[in-house]
Structure 1
Amino acid sequence: MFGYKAQATVGDQAYPAYELRRIISSLNKYLPEPEPKRQLAELFEELNLSRSQLLSSTKVYVWQVHLAMHYARLWLGRSAGALIGQEYQPRDLDLLLPHLSGCANLSDCLVLIINNPQLVGSFSDSVVQDNGDFLSIRWLNTSGLAKEVYCDLFVLSVTALMTVARQLTLAPVQFSVIELSCSANDITIGEDLAADIRFNSDICQWRIAKSWLALPVSTGVSALSVDDGAARDSISEQVINYLRDASPCMPAFATVAAALNMSERTLRRRLANAHCSYQVLLDLVRSQTALALIIQGQLSVSEIAEQMGYSDVCHFRQSFKHWLGLPPGYFRQ
């Protein structure tokens, strides 16, 4: 379970619907009257989704969750992620429930989540590290989300994780350290989530003591069978898979369109409809390829640049910093 996890999802890739339902229900709770009815009606229209469709779905699109979180920040301010995350309950996690009931302790739950990102959704790549008495997870923004949205989603995630962990264990579980890449003026996070909360860090990450992970859990929910929904025809995923097969040499847009049996105009339109672009997918796959090679530690930065088709290592370093906001050498640590 340790090491680099290239699991970020984008565009019209599938994402668990329960997260979108929780965002919507939180907006309905925290928006002042009479705003919820009008504003949520506008949001559903933007999402191209009805309430009944959302209630009956197990999967939605990644862009729909991004958009809902954008409106949550707009309407609830910097507290959006914390307010939504604290509303989570184990019974909300419909796709996860049949598996969660087989976990004996928090460590089992965490392994389940790390090894099955499709059950919980993932906006980010991550690096899972064993630090002796602690376990840490670094988030890596390979999908190029704006910092504000990215930090909101990170706060939502850590708040939801801790809220559910406390309900499963009936214990005051907390992280040892939470680091955020934004300032305290940009985001609100519950002070009780961690013994140490740090702002303006290079990346978002959290660390937890293994003693907490050893706690036994009780879901209190029967292991119901949940239909994870029919496979979606995701154009984002088709392009990503083609690029990964071609990696480390990235094909031209026209080549990808031809391989997918469509015109360049059609592919561009379908990606736009998925709230995505070829450049976003290209940068995602490039950054994941480079990260994997850097973390493996077998090649120098110059060798990685050459393998990825860069004739100038300086150009590769610039591109890498554009993708992740940090130089390649940072991830050698």
Structure 2
Amino acid sequence: MLNPAPSIRIRAFLPIAPYLAQRGVSAIEFCDRLGISPNVFQNADGWLPRAQCFHMANELAKVAADPFAGAHVGFMTELRDLGVWGQSVLAARDVAAACALATVNVPTIHRGSEVRFMTEGKTARIVFRFADRYEFDPRQFIFGSLAVLRKVPLMAGEPSAIRVRLTASRMLGNAALEECLGSNIETGCDHDMIEFDRELLDLPLKTAGTRPSKATEALASAVEAAKMLSERLSDGHALGLETVARTLGMSARSLQRRLKFCGVDFEELLDDTRRSEAIRLICEGVHSMTDIALRVGYSDSAHFTRAFKRWTGVAPSRFRTDRK
């Protein structure tokens, strides 16, 4: 049986939105920079090619002017938000079982990476590495992965007993990295790993309460709003903030606040969703312009044509001709 192509669950990248928002960068503008639609994040259980993930992580560091962007995103990521992998870890009876489950279930979140759990003497280790070649610099993704993996033994409640080993050389601004990986960091090592005192393995997990965090609620609302917009574009102008918020069971103010936390403006999200869907339908080559206009929420083709020129710089008919 052939191994699946290296890829990573989309849900691992959802915290990018609030990370960018904290730095005054629009998540939608960031997606435009990468040449992808924000709608790709609607299916959190989908997969992105690993090369695209590494490219995304590197661009994130550039646009945020943050050499440790990956670590900050990993630090913001909650285990409960990482699907089957995170849920299995949180359900473990003690730290030893949590570490073992983190290793066994890693294919549910990563393809093309390897996580090993081992003990030697008085030391336990969670070693992270890529199982095959990679196309782009993986450093930011390594930072993020270690920031997440560190949370597994951290549930023992003994941060001073946990150390982080990095293959990366020492860099300026390591103090910023300590915010995400703790103060016990060693660089220039043979492997990227989380190392901790073996005595932590027998300790029960100290997990937070079951109430979702502010980040979790905001991300869930943003994803649901984007999904709803995509599914109901043909509703046109009736598909406003009030309507979406009411359908999601909250006030318009609450939805707006949660979207803002993720660096997303509702009207901008609606506009981008229309653009992406219009381009997709035009590329199919089987729909009339009037039909496409109605499908993406415009009452007539004239309004649609003006919007399409604003999006792409050309009329939809010209766009279709150029694609042939």
Structure 1 length as normaliser, TM-score? 0.51
* CA-CA distance at 1:74 after TM superposition: 1.5
Aligned to 1:20: 13
Q: Work out whether residues 137 and 205 of structure 1, in 8 Å CA contact, stay in contact via their aligned partners in 2.
A: yes
Q: Could you say which residue in structure 1 is the equivalent of 2:159?
A: 172
Match of 2:118 in 1: 129
CA drift at 1:69: 0.8
What do the CA deviations read for 1:102-139 (whole angstroms, capped 9, x no partner)? 31112211111101112332553355432111112444
> Is 1:75 aligned with 2:47?
no
Identity %: 14
Aligned residue among 71, 80, 87 for 1:91: 80
Residues 161-201 of structure 1: CA deviation (Å, up to 9, x unaligned): 334654x4555365234233333239752168456422223
Unaligned runs of at least 5 residues, structure 2: 212-324
Number of aligned positions between the proteins: 205
Measured in 2, the distance between the counterparts of 1:87 and 1:68 equals 17
8 Å Cα contact 1:174-1:192 kept in structure 2: no
**Which entry has the higher C-alpha Rg, 1 or 2?**
2
Q: Which of these residues, 35, 42, 60, is aligned with residue 32 of structure 2?
A: 42
Structure 1 residue 143 and structure 2 residue 136: aligned? no
Listed as ranges, the gaps of 5+ residues in structure 1 are 1-7, 223-333
Q: How does 1:179-190 map onto structure 2 within 5 Å?
A: 179-185=166-172, 189-190=177-178
> Aligned to 2:159, what secondary structure does the other structure show?
coil
Seen in structure 2, the aligned counterparts of structure 1 residues 137 and 100 have a Cα distance that, compared at 3 Å, is closer
Trace 1:100-249 onto structure 2 (pairs within 5 A): 100-121=89-110, 124-145=113-134, 149-163=137-151, 166=154, 168-172=155-159, 174-185=161-172, 189-190=177-178, 193=181, 196-217=184-205, 218=207, 220-221=209-210
Separation (CA, whole Å) in 2 of partners of 1:189 and 1:214? 29
Higher relative contact order (CA 8 A, sep 6+): 1
Q: Distance in 1 between matches of 2:21 and 2:62?
A: 14
- Partner letter of residue 106 of structure 1? V
- Alpha-carbon distance change, 209 to 194 in structure 1, aligned in 2, over 3 angstroms: farther
TM-score (norm 2): 0.53
Assess if the C-alpha contact under 8 Å between 1:179 and 1:205 holds in 2. Answer: yes
CA distance in 2, matches of 1:79, 1:104: 33
Structure (1 or 2) with the greater helix fraction: 2
Alpha carbons 1:175, 1:206 under 8 Å: kept = yes
Q: 1:151 touches 1:180 (CA, 8 Å); kept in 2?
A: no
Secondary structure, aligned partner of 2:20: helix
Corresponding letter in the other structure for 2:167 = L
- The SS at the match of 1:207 is strand
